[in-house]
Structure 1
Amino acid sequence: MIIYIDQDPSTYKGPRHVEEDEIASTPMKAFWEGIKEAGWPSQPGTGPSKGLRSVLSTKREEEFSESSFAVLSKEYMVLSLRMGYHFNSVEALCTDAISKNYIRFQCKGGGAALDRRSRRICVLKELLSSMGFEHNGKGDFINAKIAYLKPSDGLAKLRLLGRITMMTKQLDMVLSNDSITEWYIQDFKKGLGLTDVV
């Protein structure tokens, strides 16, 4: 479900697919670009090219009754994604006023054992720290935030978050030990170019 808080509800009434050029939210567009770049890892042939609703829909995740949703405006987004057995949420404000801008990211849960879910959080902590986020949490939960961002920096980080969201979607399943976890951390950092991101 997508709700625009700065548009007339009649303009998007009724269930339908949302095309990329209809995303009237600057931060959501940036996050979506990252999702497109990384692709949907578990559903070959049903990736971002199928439209935003394919990501927000939970029909293929029958184990959950809750729907994913997005609340958007031109400069704001809050997105809650059910990703199989875990959820991600992203909240961001991107304006011309640096003092107002922020990004908040959360991740919780997973389908693997707790030790593997916790290792995915370790991966996220390392990636987000490299991006300048402050974070807290324990076990299979992380809450991260960064603020006082230039608009261009905020959008760049949202694109990276879109990529990271897809890259870590089922990562808990393979993180059987700390050595593998460290390998993924270094591989992801290299692939994302995080050594150059401040």
Structure 2
Amino acid sequence: MGKTTSQDRILHAARRLFFEHGFGQVSTDVLAREAAVSKATIYRHFENMADILRCVTEAEALRFREITPPKTETIADLQTALIQYGTKLLTFLNEAETLEFARLMHEGARENPDIGEAFFNAAYGQTQNDFAKMFAAAQNRGVLSDLTSPMDIAEDLIGLLEGLGMVRVQLGVIKVPYPDVQERTTRAVNTILKMHATSR
């Protein structure tokens, strides 16, 4: 097994610290001590703490993101790809650790808009881009007929997928935002496809 690089140690330590204490409570001094590196080493690999947060969030998002573009040649292909991705997304959002991390990020963003932007771009922005690529590919093949922007369709789908689940959790109304992931995902995807699919 290869040696862990200093960059990996920094990201692993940052993840642990962010999840335990929130972004605002983690200084470069604390991070350097936890990762057993110097502050200079941190700045050799990363621009600032917001950059570290972006990398940690992107690594978390890789747990549900599709690395290879899915097939979108037919409406059935697109439906399958969207349901698979959406199911992974909602399953990930149901995890207690994910919910706590999101809560900490929302609280920290009030005091530091930079971390809010970094978190949004790495999590929500990347998810929207992934969906938009699927919709754009389907439009190029004539599977989706309208001229609605793929980014707009992606945002609509994310809205249908997430609904008010996360809001209910943040307000303490429920503990798990999406109790029936498969049914919710299928309903959201089918709603979007009914709106935008070609009629053949």
TM value normalised by structure 1? 0.28
Whichever structure has more helix as a proportion of its residues is 2
Larger-Rg structure: 2
TM value normalised by structure 2? 0.28
Whichever structure has more strand as a proportion of its residues is 1
